[in-house]
């Protein structure tokens, strides 16, 4: 039986909306497959999350960055958050493609390792077989919407790994070894200490770097400043507690290092667009909901 937000048409379209928002490092938003009509178009539109299409057959055009990109069978294209794009299927040989919309605290690093960026949105596989394996991994997610959210997120990480490993433009880990070491140290420190009032200088010192150089390395690796990442990490943890527990908002505020609940509410609203109380009212997960979701 299909879930309420799924659309399924045997010959032309499969579309599924991911139902669980409790994941921080990676979450899925929607995914599907479509055999498009000639000149099928979408846009101009701005996305809130990353969106990747892999073209199974046919061809078409992507318009982004005031440029046009021809996308054919065996290739793909990435749309990044806040980027306005339009994509159009060919009139004579329209696309068949599969797509995944996703986001998370560690997604930008995988995208960078795959050699993709807002100015380099076209995915080219190392080989036909490499592209086939990526298609297979994506369709595995599309064809199993009934899997538990934990299993789907696991498949999402496998998709990201295959995207990196199969890309003809991937960056070799050996070129990033020292920077990756610093980032692992920084992320580990944040995960273990976000509950207290840590400073960027303290994180940099833990990694053995000065603040200025640490900020540059962090931004290059994660796609945002250490301050922005720390804010997003804390708010993601707070959102998780708002959804999964009945703890008072003041308690949650203190648990993510905000002694002043008003300051916490402002920070939370800057990330999620609503106050913590409103967020809880619309996202709270009751025990029976978790049981029905297979978690």
Is residue 135 pLDDT above 70, yes or no? yes
Instruction: Out of 140, 166, 192, pick the residue that ends a domain.
Output: 166
We report the CATH number of the domain holding residue 270 as 1.10.10.60
pLDDT for 65? 86
Query: Average model confidence (pLDDT) for the chain?
Result: 87
Provide the number of structural domains found in the chain: 2
Instruction: Out of 166, 198, 220, pick the residue that ends a domain.
Output: 166
> In the chain, which residue ranges form alpha helices assigned H by DSSP?
107-113, 128-142, 149-166, 177-193, 200-207, 211-222, 226-244, 249-255, 261-272, 276-283, 287-292
d(C-alpha 88, C-alpha 82), whole Å: 19
Non-local CB neighbours of 104 within 8 Å, separated by 6+ positions: 23, 24, 25, 26, 27
**pLDDT tens digit string along 70-112?**
999 999 999 999 899 999 999 999 999 999 999 988 788 889 8
pTM, rounded to two decimals: 0.61
Is residue 293 pLDDT above 50, yes or no? no
Is residue 250 pLDDT above 80, yes or no? yes
pLDDT for 23? 54
The domain of 185 spans 175-283
Number of H helices, E strands in the chain: 11, 11
Q: Are residues 128 and 274 in the same domain?
A: no
Q: For a pLDDT cut of 90, what percent of the chain falls above it? A: 69
3-state helix, strand, coil in the chain (%, to 5): 45, 25, 30
pLDDT for 191? 92
We report the CATH number of the domain holding residue 21 as 2.60.120.280
Non-local CB neighbours of 185 within 8 Å, separated by 6+ positions: 206, 207
pLDDT for 294? 31
């Amino acid at each position: 039986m299909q879930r309420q937000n799924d659309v399924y048409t045997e010959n032309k379209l499969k579309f599924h909306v991911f139902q669980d928002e409790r994941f921080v490092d990676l979450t899925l938003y929607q995914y599907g497959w479509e055999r498009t009509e000639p000149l099928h178009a979408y846009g101009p539109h701005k996305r809130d999350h990353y969106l990747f299409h892999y073209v199974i057959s046919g061809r078409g055009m992507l318009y982004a960055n005031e440029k046009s990109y021809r996308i054919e069978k065996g290739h793909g294209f990435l749309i990044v958050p806040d980027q306005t794009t339009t994509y159009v299927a060919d009139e004579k040989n329209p696309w068949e493609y599969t797509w995944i919309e996703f986001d998370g605290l560690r997604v930008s690093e995988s995208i960078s390792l795959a050699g993709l960026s807002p100015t380099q949105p076209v995915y080219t596989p190392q080989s036909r077989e490499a592209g086939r394996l990526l298609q297979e991994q994506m369709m595995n997610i599309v064809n199993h919407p009934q899997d538990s959210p934990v299993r789907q997120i696991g498949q999402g990480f496998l998709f990201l790994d295959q995207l990196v490993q199969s890309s003809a433009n991937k960056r070799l880990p050996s070129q990033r070894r020292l920077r990756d070491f610093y980032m692992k140290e920084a992320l580990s420190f944040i995960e273990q200490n976000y509950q207290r009032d840590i400073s960027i200088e303290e994180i940099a010192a833990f990694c053995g770097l000065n603040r200025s150089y640490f900020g540059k390395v962090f931004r290059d690796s994660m796609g945002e400043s250490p301050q922005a990442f720390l804010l997003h990490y804390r708010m993601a943890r707070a959102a998780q507690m708002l959804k999964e527990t009945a703890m008072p908002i003041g308690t949650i505020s203190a648990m993510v290092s905000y002694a002043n609940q008003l300051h916490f509410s402002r920070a939370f609203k800057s990330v999620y667009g609503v106050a913590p109380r409103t967020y809880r009212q619309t996202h709270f997960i009751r025990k029976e909901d978790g049981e029905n979701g297979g978690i």
